[in-house]
Structure 1
Amino acid sequence: MLTLHTAELLLPGHGLMPLPGGAVAVRGREIAALGTPADLAGRFPGARVRRWPGLLTPGLVNPWGPELLEGAYHPDPREAAELGTEPLTGAALDVLALTDTRWGGSARRGVQRMLAHGTVAVAGTLERPFARDAADRSGLARRQRSAAPPGPVSLDPLAGRTAPGPEVFAAARLSEGAPAAFAVFDVLGPGGAAPGADPCAALAARGAGRCVATVLGGRLVHRRR
């Protein structure tokens, strides 16, 4: 079934004008069209419509793939009372006596947390099978990098930025026939972008944790409850 994803503002990407109230039509794994909801509803009668608050952009690249999937343990919710909810690294891992099974579960949870931050690709070489398996099963693309990026490791690819540069996005633009890999961020409401302000600056200021939906390979892989 073809699905229309609509948002308050569509930012298709480099060189393309923002479209207030824009929509992306998804058929299978690909983008079928971009435009206004009215135009796309006319072109695709009977399409399912999903309406999201905020800013729809190409999905993000998290630059800390190995650090988050191989070097950090993401506690199971059942372990929250003992271990908390944030990723554990360094000396905290030494006392956990982690087996491959627990590492595999951690990597899968780490991937889900990445998806909840609008991530559709990870950078860095994944050496451990459980990390590669978790990324590949989810559909996350993998990108090469020359070195670990500066700054603290974060699930938020926008952490420490005043504005997202082109390297933050997994694709330069959303276009017809391209893979359907995008995210929606609720950053335009109260406390978000003021009228006439740069929406990308609002996205960087409020962070990828404001992600309400992530579409990867045409599938809705994250939806904020």
Structure 2
Amino acid sequence: MAYDLEEQEKIDALKAWWDRHGTLSTAIVLAVAIGLAGWRGWQWYETHTAGQAMGYYEALESAAGQSGDDAVARIKAASTALRTDYATSGYTARGILLAASALEQRNDLEGARDQLEWLARDASDPALQAVARLRLAGVLLSLQQYDAALDQLKGTPPVGFAALYHDRRGDVLAAQGQRDQAMEAWRQALDSLGGDPAAQVVQLKIDALNGA
């Protein structure tokens, strides 16, 4: 087909533009397409991963409501899978706390300790770490590992946990026979609690120790 001079100039200009920018334009389009595919793939992966983590959490939850050695084995297996393969999932921290509670109820204190040590070390949420350390101190108290329990409670208590940390420290010190230090820790707990009804429980501990 023959083109007039004006049309030919437009065609030549388009060819010249393509020679200069065609490769870059193709690369940009390709990058956008790959980025979109990657984003969709990541969405699928996140959804798929969350679904698998939820499955392990539900299996753990089911096993926690049952009794026997088989239930304990399934609790630990589900917990291990969550910790190993889905450490950043929102289901994992919940699962670890549930596993620790279930094992502690079955008097498997070393098993509960293992769960809580992982959470205290690896949880990305400071509040979850604070809960894990508090509960771990309680497990260590039950194991009569008093110095290790106090290590979990040392330093300034996390925000919102002052009363709980002081109270647990008092429990550990009392178990060690350090009466004065225990009283001081419980008084600090009372100061943090203010008019909270839980203060009555701490006061009972003080009264009991005073009467001993």
TM interval, shorter chain, is under 0.3
Determine which structure has the larger strand proportion and give its number: 1
TM-score scaled to structure 2, two decimals? 0.25
TM-score scaled to structure 1, two decimals? 0.24
Determine which structure has the larger helix proportion and give its number: 2
Between Structure 1 and Structure 2, whose CA radius of gyration is higher? 2
> Which structure's relative contact order is higher, taking Cα pairs within 8 Å and 6+ residues apart?
1
